[in-house]
Amino acid sequence: MTGARIREQVAALGRRRRGERIPAELRAEIADYARGRRADGGRVREVAAETGVSPESIRRWTVRAKATEPVALPVHVSRDEVCAQIAVVTPSGVRIEGLEVEQAAELARRLG
């Protein structure tokens, strides 16, 4: 989709007040377009002008999309009996300490 086509769809929503939501499907298209333009060297302000959406919204939507992508991290497994408990640190920085192996495995299952 082109920036002009997105701008038409945004304009078709009518006059919006600050904070008024854009439908999720259109928001996802705008984020995809913005990521593509940024990869080609486009600036957030340029993308905002092309699409008719504020630069701050463009920035939030593209960052939010990245944050929800699955992340694979290296894991070191030790057979040391000294390591009786495990600490888990999520990509967002949340640290959970004092887990036993079974608890860590259950946490991993629940987090997906």
Listed by start position, the domains of the chain span: 3-67, 71-112
Mean pLDDT within 82-109 = 76
Q: Which fold has domain 3-67?
A: Arc Repressor Mutant, subunit A (1.10.10)
pLDDT digit string (tens) for 37-95?
A: 988 899 999 999 999 999 999 998 887 655 555 666 777 676 665 556 777 777 667 78
The pLDDT, as a whole number, for residue 34 is: 93
Residue with tokens 């694979």: 72
Reply yes or no on whether the pLDDT at 29 is more than 90. yes
**Is the alpha carbon torsion for 4, 10, 12, 15 positive or negative?**
negative
Nearest CA-CA partner of 106 in 86, 91, 84, 92: 86
Using DSSP's 3-state secondary structure scheme, residue 102 falls into: helix
User: Phi and psi (nearest 5°) for 96?
Assistant: -120, 115
Going from the C-alpha of 68 to that of each of 61, 62, 64, 81, the distances in angstroms are 11, 10, 7, 35
Whole-model pTM: value is 0.55
Model confidence at 103, in pLDDT bands (50, 70, 90)? confident
